[in-house]
Amino acid sequence: MKHFIITVYGKVQGVSFRAATKAIADQLSIKGFVRNQVDGSVYIEAEGDQFSINYLVDWCKEGPDTAVVEKVDVSEGEIKNYLNFEIVKKHRI
């Protein structure tokens, strides 16, 4: 089990990036969350096996058809044992 923190930059808000990320995460049995950031980026915490996380990271480099991804930052974090994958509606500070 791995825990990755993924931040996606570019035209990634208002293009269904969060909904598409949730759909991919659910298909891959990835747990965690996705939320929009105040700076226009999308922030993801994802937990799953190495293959699934790698697939999600690769997908984030393209995103949904309407997104324009400029950069993706990825780092590893501590396991938090999320129970599901959620779209978080509000910004967290």
Q: For all residues of the chain together, what is the average pLDDT?
A: 96
Encoded tokens for 36: 């929009």
* pTM for this entry: 0.94
**Is 54 part of the annotated catalytic residue set?**
no
Of 35, 36, 54, 81, the active-site residue reads 36
Which of 24 and 90 is assigned the larger pLDDT? 24
**Is 18 part of the annotated catalytic residue set?**
yes
Of 18, 35, 54, 92, the active-site residue reads 18
Confidence category of residue 13, pLDDT binned at 50, 70, 90? very high
Can you tell me the mean pLDDT for 60-87? 97
Confidence category of residue 91, pLDDT binned at 50, 70, 90? low
Burial 58-77 (b: 16+ CB within 10 A, else e): ebbeebbeebebeebebeee
What phi-psi label fits residue 76: left (phi over 0), alpha (psi between -120 and 50 degrees) or beta? beta
Please give the C-alpha separations between residue 2 and each of 32, 41, 63, in angstroms, as whole numbers: 11, 22, 21
Given a cut of 60, whether residue 92 has pLDDT beyond it is no
Given a cut of 70, whether residue 87 has pLDDT beyond it is yes
The half-sphere exposure of 33 on its side-chain side, counting CA atoms within 13 A, is: 14
